[in-house]
């Protein structure tokens, strides 16, 4: 039986991937999270615990879902010292992983990226341990999620807004990425290329733009705006002028393209994941308040951090080379988020 590893498996992307892999395969799925941000699987898996041992819980009657509550760095340091660690600590017979999806990271949205950059810089240590493990143990395939934050910020200003192309990141001619978060992702992309070329690891990198979905944390703008519209907030607060824009892409599309890319790309090349469409926060508010059936007064909060002015992508490379296009329109995706927000009030 194949065994996949999902790090950060209780975060937004991780828990969606855990559930997708569980539904779409017969594989065993091991997921690790320190729950610093992630939510406990008891609350979202909807499956009984079949047994528990130390900091591990196994879910479902088929015993295919293994959750370990731990700091990934501690687990990887143990594994890097002793490949039999899982066997000795948990009685788990996992010699090698098939696919590793590495979603453990400190992300946290604009307030954390700008407000606590050294906390976010710990992504460097999480990724360093992960890459060392991957190069020593060679899983079948490894997914490294970079981010649109790796792109040079001077290509995302009000006067210089363009659709970001994969080739806009060039290690021989560098622009400045977005804060410590962007630097750590850029470093991860560099390590991914070395893992592929120097160690022969099958590596795929993705640069998701603004992923969103029904079960996303309220510290992210899409669910937060949906929740406030569902409560008919008026005046409606927006960070900055609200004219800043992002490329919102639904989590189901993010997962689809991630899995396709892993089938097709093995050399550490990074691809965009977005709709290729810029939507401002003011437009987002209009969509959600439209669903709620009212027109609020907009109240700009000019002291809040807003990040770059416009961040969106060019999907030409993906369309031409992978034949992929996002399936879930902004209107449909946002409608799903709004309906989920309504159910919560």
Ligand X SMILES: NC(=O)c1ccc[n+]([C@@H]2O[C@H](COP(=O)([O-])OP(=O)(O)OC[C@H]3O[C@@H](n4cnc5c(N)ncnc54)[C@H](O)[C@@H]3O)[C@@H](O)[C@H]2O)c1
Site for ligand X in 9-28 (CB under 6 A): 10-14
First to last CA, the chain: 42
Q: How far apart are CA 123 and CA 264, in angstroms?
A: 27
Give residues 105-124 in contact with ligand X (rule: CB under 6 A). 105-107
Question: Taking CB under 6 A as the rule, does residue 211 contact ligand X?
Answer: yes
Mask 49-78, x = binds ligand X (CB under 6 A)? ----------------------xxx-----
Nearer to ligand X, 5 or 94 (CB): 5
- Edge-to-edge strand list for the sheet holding 163-164: 163-164, 310-313, 245-246, 279-280
| Candidate segments 7-15, 41-49, 56-64, 171-179, binder of ligand X by CB under 6 A | 7-15
Query: According to the binding rule CB under 6 A, does residue 126 interact with ligand X?
Result: yes
On the 0-12 / 13-18 / 19+ scale of CB atoms within 10 A, 23 is: exposed
Q: Identify the CA nearest to 96 among candidates 136, 64, 56, 59.
A: 136
- Verify cis geometry, omega within 30 degrees of 0, for the bond prior to 68: no
Q: Which of positions 160-199 make contact with ligand X (CB under 6 A)?
A: none
Helix or strand or coil: residue 118? helix
Angle (CA) 268-185-163 rounded to 5° is 85
Nearer to ligand X, 11 or 245 (CB): 11
Nearest alpha-carbon partner for 250 in 8, 2, 13, 10: 13
SS (H, E, C) 306-340: CCCCEEEECCHHHHHHHCCCCCCCHHHHHHHHHHH
Select 103 or 288, whichever has its Cβ closest to ligand X: 103
Residues 118 and 305: their CA atoms lie apart, in Å, by: 17
- Residue number with CB closer to ligand X (102 or 228): 102
Q: 170: which DSSP letter?
A: -
Minimum CB distance to ligand X, residue 150 (Å): 9
Q: Determine contact, residues 307/181, Cβ cutoff 8 Å.
A: no
Give the nearer residue to ligand X in terms of CB position, either 183 or 236.
183
With CB under 6 A as the contact rule, the residue among 187, 210, 244, 279 that binds ligand X is 210
For position 255 contacting ligand X by CB under 6 A, the verdict is: no
Minimal CB distance residue for ligand X: 11
Q: Which is nearer to ligand X, 228 or 246 (CB)?
A: 246
Stretch that binds ligand X, among 23-31, 208-216, 290-298, 318-326 (CB under 6 A): 208-216
145 binding ligand X? (CB under 6 A): yes
From 20-28, 206-214, 282-290, 324-332, span contacting ligand X (CB under 6 A): 206-214
C-alpha 301/C-alpha 240 separation (Å) is 5
Residue selected from 3, 147, 187, 272 as contacting ligand X according to rule CB under 6 A: 147
Which tokens in the block code for residue 244?
A: 């800043």
Contact pick of 3, 5, 18, 33 for ligand X (by CB under 6 A)? 33
Nearer to ligand X, 14 or 139 (CB): 14
- Least Å distance, CB 240 to ligand X, is 20
Q: By CB under 6 A, is residue 37 in contact with ligand X? A: yes
CA 26 to centroid of chain Cα atoms: 24
- Residues lying near ligand X in the complex (CB under 6 A) are found at 8, 10-14, 32-38, 71-73, 103-107, 126, 145, 147, 208, 210-211
């Amino acid at each position: 039986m194949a065994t996949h590893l999902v790090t950060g498996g209780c975060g937004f992307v991780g828990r969606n991937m855990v559930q997708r892999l569980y539904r779409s395969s017969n594989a065993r799925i091991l997921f690790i999270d320190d729950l610093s941000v992630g939510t406990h699987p008891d609350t979202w898996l909807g499956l009984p615990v079949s047994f528990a041992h130390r900091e591990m819980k196994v879910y479902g009657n088929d015993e295919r879902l293994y959750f370990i509550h731990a700091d990934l760095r501690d687990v990887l340091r143990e594994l890097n010292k002793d490949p039999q660690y899982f066997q000795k600590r948990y009685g788990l017979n996992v010699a090698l992983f098939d696919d590793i999806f590495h979603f453990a990271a400190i992300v946290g949205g604009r307030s954390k990226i700008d407000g606590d950059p050294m906390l976010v810089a710990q992504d460097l240590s999480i990724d360093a341990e992960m890459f060392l493990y991957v190069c020593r143990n060679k899983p079948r395939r490894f997914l490294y999620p970079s981010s649109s934050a790796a792109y040079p910020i001077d290509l995302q200003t009000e006067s210089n807004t363009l659709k970001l192309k994969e080739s806009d990141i060039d290690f021989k001619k560098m622009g400045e990425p977005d804060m410590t978060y962007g630097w750590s992702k850029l470093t991860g992309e560099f390590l991914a290329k070395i893992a592929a070329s120097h160690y022969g690891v099958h590596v795929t990198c993705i640069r998701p733009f603004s992923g969103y979905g029904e079960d996303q944390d309220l510290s992210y703008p899409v669910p937060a705006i949906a929740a406030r519209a569902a409560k008919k907030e008026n005046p409606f607060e927006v960070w900055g002028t609200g004219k800043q824009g992002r490329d919102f892409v639904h989590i189901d599309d993010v997962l689809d393209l991630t899995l396709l890319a892993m089938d097709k790309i093995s050399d550490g090349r990074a691809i965009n994941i977005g709709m290729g469409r810029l939507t401002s926060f003011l437009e987002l508010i209009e969509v959600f308040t439209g669903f709620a059936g009212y027109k609020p007064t907009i109240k700009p909060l000019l002291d809040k951090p807003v990040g770059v002015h416009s961040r969106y992508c060019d999907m030409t490379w993906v369309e031409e080379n992978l034949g992929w296009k996002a399936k879930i329109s902004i209107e449909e995706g946002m409608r799903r988020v709004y309906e989920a927000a309504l159910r919560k009030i």
